[in-house]
Every structure is written in structure tokens, then in C-alpha cells.
Structure 1
Amino acid sequence: MTPEQSTWFAETFDALVSNVGQALLGKERTVRLALTAMVAEGHLLLEDAPGTGKTSLAKALAATVQGTQHRIQFTPDLLPSDVTGVTIYDQGTHRFDFHPGPIFASVVLADEINRASPKTQAALLEVMEEGNVTVDGVTHPVGRPFMVIATQNPIEQAGTYRLPEAQLDRFLIKTSLGYPDRASAVEILGGAKDRTTNLQPRITTQAVGTMADIALTVHVDATVLDYVARLTEATRDDAQTALGASVRGGLALVRCAKVWAASQGRDYVIPDDVKDLAQPVLAHRLVLDTEAEFSGVKAADVLERILEHTAPPVLRAAV
């Protein structure tokens, strides 16, 4: 990464955060996490109560990068073809034509993903990992950038299908928006109904791909990589976890840390980047021991304790 690229990346990232922040007042950290997931070419899982702005976040992200946005309302009767698309025989041309589903967009909002059957949830697995949809043996790329923002409602579990660990692992980051502070709430109540309608694009979708390529060049020292490895190992060795973070989780943490560092104008990752992102990147990948879960222990509590007891590398002074 050149100094010019570093400056452009940081300034562009801040401009994107500011633009999306016009639609989601008082949620800068969540917006930064969402943009980090987009630039790292990953996906975001939001677990929140209704009416906290999840749809607005997806619409604001798509508008900011001049991309397309589709919303899929997941219901128990939703079929995989309703998500990916279907091949239909055209009697006029005597051939099968592919009709793409709503998954073909820059930003896809999978609303209440846990309400759909496991079969329909699984329809997202290939496209989230590979960026392609295969229908009747033919592969169709979804384009770049491509991001799934899935939501879950934590207060209504009747009639839902819990996401399996394999699919949770596909989400780069899991976070929540939460309710706004009072000052932001007052401004929201006195403003327009939909703040995303007036948002102007700040960059093109091609520029998002450029940012993703630049982020890959951020340097990660071997001592920082060792720190990430020790953190993920500690989640697997902890007495309160039945399943810890996999190597994929460690790779996800490094990918996000590179974007996080570049967004602050640095071409190298520091231990604080890893600490800032460990909770949203790793917590949802942990499966707690049954006894710990019944005792009310949360994955975030386990990860916080691991962070406290795992010593970060000491930065070396310049010679």
C-alpha cells in the first residue's frame, strides 16, 4: 500500500461512514463494522429487536456505493428457488432461460433468516462462500461487491429454525444496532420517515472492489498472527466452550483487522485492531458447554475473559 492509497482509503472510508450515518444516527461503530464486512468481502449478521434500523442500514449501504439492494422476507414457506432464481422453459425460443432471484444484488437483506426452513437457509451457503449461484448445473456469478445482511429477532423464537454452526461461520461479523440515544431518537422522530431516500452515492461499486484489493496488501506482523492464533486456540481450550473458533474464524479476524487498520490510514495491523474486532468476529462462532449455557454464561463473556488473559505482542521500537 502506497502512502497515497493509504490516505485515499482512510478518507473514503470515513466519507462512507458519514454518509451511511445520515440514515443511522448515533451508530458509528455499527456502521464501521458493516462497512468493514463489505470491504473485507464478507457478510453481516444482525441480531436485534424490530424497528432498530436494520433495513435502513442495508438500503443506506447500497445507496452509498451506488449498488443495488434487494430485501428477502424469510418465511417458513420460502423455497430455495425463491432466493436463488429458477430456470423456465421458453416456448417461443425452445430453450431454458434463467430468471435470477433476489440474491443477485450488491446488498441483500435476508430479513429474519431463522424463520425459513433449513433447506432454504442452506441455499445461501454456496453464494455466501463462493459468490456464485448454481441452478440446474449452470453457475451464475452474483458480481462484486456482494454482501448479505441477515437479521434475527432475539425475542420471538416460536416457529424459527436456529442457524446451524456451519452457517453462522459463514458470517464474517455479528453485531447489533440497538436503540439510539435520546438525542438521536429526538432527531429521528422529528425528521423524514425514510432517511435513505436522500442519500447520494459516494463511490461506485468498482471502487469498493479497489478498496478490497488495497486492504489485502496491509501488512500483518508474525507476532500479530501468533496473537490471533493464540486467541482462537484459547477459545477451543476453554472449559466453558464445547466448540471454539476455527481456523476460518482466525482468517476472518485477520481480514477484518486489515480493513480496520487501513480505515485508520495505516498499512499495518496492530494488536488493538485485533482486540477491537475479536468480539464481533469470533463470539458467534463459539458454542458454549451445556452447563455454562444453563448458568447464563454468554459467548461474549468467555471471549472477554480470554482477551484479558491472552497477552498481546509488544510493539517493537523503531531502530
Structure 2
Amino acid sequence: QQDAFLPYVENGTIVLIGATTENPSFEVNAALLSRLKVFVLQQLTAEEIVSILRQACADDERGLGKLNVSITDDQLLRLAQHTSGDARAALNTLELAARIIAPDDAQQRIVTDEALQEALQRAAALYDKQGEEHYNLVSAFIKSIRNSDADATLYWLARMIEAGEDPMFIARRIVHHASEDIGMADPQALVVAVAAAQATHQIGLPEARLALAEASVYLARAPKSNQVYVAYEAAVADARATHSEPVPLHLRNAPTGLMKGLGYGKGYQYAHNFAEKKADMDCLPEKLKDKKYF
């Protein structure tokens, strides 16, 4: 559907102005994005958020003026600091806090610390499971594991869990990177990761957070090797390039007399019959003879 804009944007018939809270790289296709100028709006400071909140409290038409909200400067600053530079989140949390409190005899809603805390707990954290922050946090988590930084690993894990990430998503990433980043340097890492995933599936949050933390720290402190990953990717490249190469006859199964007559299984050497449990036998297609991956 976005492609329909292309000719009209190019010839100037349409001047396209858009705003999004998401990374446009994920939401706008490459062809259209290449014809646009992207401006990144940075997070607002706490002081700027406080100013916006004060305006909202005083605005009868577009703000919360009709609710007659009374809130201290310290409370406004606390609210601003908890909303990560997001004015919309701050405004929504302020309104929620105001509506938690019943009006007094003078029809004034005096926000208490308890009401503000409840509103902050209800408010959604700066985290979108389909947006950029989702990918930013999991990227930081995985790269901290890869860099053997257990402290950073725990921090990013806590950020994801506290923001409401699906614990099974985290568990799957841990299992994957036990193979990709540790591999044969410590095969036990995969066992620990799978155990954490099973525990997460069985008990769920909040208890599963410790299983995830244990596995994450284990992976961060484990020796690292990506040899399996590199070797497999090389094998994939060859498999795609030689996908029509036949399986050598001596490696083929021969369950019928016809197959045996065609030479299936002829020349196969059973490894267990040799002292070193390895026969002098080629197991790759002819085109890849003597190829080494690992």
C-alpha cells in the first residue's frame, strides 16, 4: 500500500509529512523511506516534561484543568523522571493519578504519594514488544553475554522482565546463544540454558526470573567460541551451492535387493570395526571431497 505514494511523492503532487513513535525503518518500506527526510526527535528532559504537566493541569479545554488537580513540584518531577522523556506517558500517568483520587469537599483532587505510586505502577513502561525498544534491549542483553559482562547481562535482563517482556522469548534467546556464542567451548551451557527454558515454561514469572538470571550469568561467565556457528554457516553455503549433488553410493541405505544391485551401500566401512572408531572413507560428495568446516 505504501508503494502507491511513490509516484506522487516523487513528482511533488503529495507533500508527505508523517510522525511516528516507532523506528521508521520498521514501519516504512525502503523505497518510500529513501525519498523522505527523517528527523529524529529526542527524549524530552525531566524539566520539559514538568512544564508540559503544569500546562496540562491549568488547561481547561485540552488538559486536566476541569479535574482541578493539585500536585506538588516534587511529585511532578518524580513523575517526569519515571516516564523516560515521553510526554504522552507522563500526561496519561498524571491523569490516572488524578482519577485515582476522589474530589474533596472543594471538588479538588489532591494527588497523594500513594496515588502517584499506584499510577506509576499501572503505567506502561517504555517498552514495545513489536517496536525498536524491544530489539534494542534484547540486543544489549545478548551482546553483554557475548562480551562476558555478567553485570550488564543481569541489568538488561532485569530491564526486559520489568518492562513486561515474554519470559519465554528471553529463554529462547538464551538457548540460541548458548550454541552460537559458547558452543563447544562449554557444551554444558546449552544444558543450563535448556533447563532454564523448561523451568520458565513450568513455573512462569515471577519465580522464573531467577532461573533466567542463573542461566544468563552462566552464559556470560562461560568461555566463548563461535566455531560451530561459523562452521555451520559455511556448510549452509556449500549445501545451497551443491544441492543437486547425489549422495555417494557407499553412504546410501540398501533395504532392498534392487538397491544393493544398483550399488547402494557398496564400499561402506563400519567405523566401530576400526581401532580408532574411524574408517578411511569419504563422507562428502565428490565435489566437496576433503572440505573442512570445523
Instruction: Please report the TM-score for the alignment, with normalisation by the length of structure 1.
Output: 0.22
**Structure with more of its chain in helix, by fraction:** 2
Instruction: Please report the TM-score for the alignment, with normalisation by the length of structure 2.
Output: 0.23
**Structure with more of its chain in strand, by fraction:** 1
